[in-house]
Structure 1
Amino acid sequence: MKRSGHTDLPLHHGTVPRWLAERMAKLGRAITEVIVMEYGRDEFIQRISDPFWFQSLGAVMGMDWHSSGITTSVVGALKRTINPISDELGIYVCGGRGKHSRNTPQELIEVGYKTGLNGNELARSSRLTAKVDNTAIQDGFNIYLHSFFVSKEGQWSVVQQGMNTETAYARRYHWHSQAFAAYLNEPHTAVFGQNQGDILNLTAADSDATKSGILSLSREKPELIRKEMQRYLCMPAHHEVRAKDVDLKRLGATLALAHHSDIKQFEDLLLLQGVGPRTIQSLTLVSEVIHGTPSRFKDPARFSFAHGGKDGHPFPVPLKVYDETLSVLRHGIEKAKVGLSDKQKAIKSLHRISAQMEKDFQPNANFEEVIAKEKAESYKYGGMTVNGPAKRPVSPRLRQLSLF
């Protein structure tokens, strides 16, 4: 049993507006279908267990890039959109927030009836993962959301979230089933987090072993410690997206591909002619969520440049662009199902071309000006936030700004 990592996120309040929730469900389904078609169900289950990828998925879907709300909204969107096609897709999503989390064991037993899996054993795994993070390890965070993703082959991931009302932070825990072991005998590969004072850890063999482990850890080479720390993602308290939150070189390469490249020069992108540069920008980031390697997700804030955020950070959600992205993905998936995968290959190539451009790319412009330009032009793309539609700016002229 391995827990893949965990994430600390600032608490945010409010609900996801219907206009965004419906689009998140559609995009979540499309991304899931493409991953399963291209890489298989086990790959999708493994990605769910990666806190960096999960955060990037939420950002590319238009949720607030760093808030605790990503967990609830992404889990809810995937459950609503995946379960109706579970028999075809071979992926099942159980649980959720509050009372829905308590229904997880029964839902898993029902999955067992459908698939032939041992539903009682899955239910046991659900209960134990929740108990370990909520009771066996008492770190100041109380679990209030528990979700269980399982494939028809029996591979599963758990995503659950706890809340610390004193620090106004939530902590998300990710588990991935690799091989069954004793849940109370050091089941975690690593546990990192902000100092909460004394922590009760009943998964430790005994206190002497824990002390020996701390001493051993202090003697390790720094590069080994840094490697382990890469499993921990702590999102900042500030709501706006700042330059330090993203890899400017990667973001700049994405924008350069979208706005300064003649798409006709790429033979494998011919099928995307007619789709505007702004949609190419979104499709490139969606392509990276689907086809990118783990190292590409160290800065989830970058993926908010696909479809913005419902609270207007880094800019309002461009509904016209969002719908064009969904249309291209949906059309590509339907074509791939009947053996015509040219559009899917074109979408995949966006990630490859952007990564190639990034190698020699040097950003040299003001990050804040880039965001200002996106906000100023948001009205053109049907920009929307929880406060309503984006308005046309008073200034009659906009400077042409970019990261290059």
Structure 2
Amino acid sequence: MKIVIVGAGQAAASLAARLRAKGHDGPVTLIGAEPVAPYQRPPLSKAYLLGQMGLDRLVLRSPEWWVDQGITLRLDETAQAIDPAARMVRTDRAQVAYDVLVMTTGAHARRLPAAMGGDLPGVQVIRNLADVNALVPQMQPGRRLIVIGGGYIGLEAAAVARKLDLTVTLIEAAPRILGRVAAAETADMIRELHLAHGVEIMEGTGISHITGTDRATGVVLNDGRELPADLIVTGIGVLPETGLAQTAGLVLDNGIATDDLGRTSDPAIWAAGDCASFPWQGGRLRLESVGNAIDMAEAVADNILGADRPYQPKPWFWSDQFDAKLQIAGLGAGHDRIVTRAGDGQHGGSVWYYRQGRLIAVDALNDARAYMIGKRLIEAGRSPEADAIAATTDLKALLA
């Protein structure tokens, strides 16, 4: 059975490793548009951007591992079309035949429109190695950085820039930072952290356009104010990479739609990771996280080999900002009650999300104990009374 994987990120690497671990000895081929072997993305906006991690530590597997496992890497090669009838992937170099195809194409960064100046030199996104390699030499002490977008990527970039001694202004169009992904109580902790480190945060502030002709020189706000800048980073979210799937006729629904095994509308094509949506609690869910990329890829590998194991996500996320770590377990969407607990340090604490009396998520800033206990409770389907979370002096007792 010839298995071809389109996309060469975390999900692809996890899937290929799982296939070999489970005994598949047929051909496995990864097709990746980037010139480097699969690597970790989360450190790009943190340790790698800071210069604390090199490419040798960023890659997920050594060159020797791929050779030893007999896995073919077709790097710096772009998949251009899929012919489901012929079971063939056409790249910019060759025709690659498959018996089973897996889409692990990930997601791409949203960009501001060209009409707003989004394509000017000096306007950067942070999604892949090339993005960050272009950004590193521009992150010079004393320069003025404007970050557009108050999600995790924007906040991480702001934190790194301040550690490198840039002057940083973060602009968020929504009423508050982290508006789509976290409770106001979590946003309050993160805002306080950034303000304490000298980041200027402008919430409820829209962008009219980016100024400059040959290079970005600043932004004009919707109220007419102009802010000068030497560099602009946009962190306004990502979109699933579905172009190939769409032209191949696969069903799309907030990404490439799969069943609970990870199979798409074509029985010979599967999908995993950021690009894929799957059935979840009567609807569909798409997760953008390392945990989901690994877990779903491994489930898909098992199911390709006949396991018939429905994928059950256990969502977890993290974000490093300054010297603080935010750890998240579960999904807080649709919560109707929040319980907060103070942490031990100046910047820390935990936020517990409840829906109809059920614990559904925990955000923990510099509070690893709260994160681990919350994660274990959620995964076990256990929900202590919200008042007990607030009152107890020993969270571990809630596991008894």
TM over 0.5: no
Structure with greater proportional strand content: 2
Comparing both chains, which one has the higher relative contact order based on Cα–Cα distances under 8 Å and sequence gaps of 6 or more? 1
TM-score normalised per structure 2:
0.25
Structure with greater proportional helix content: 1
TM-score normalised per structure 1:
0.25
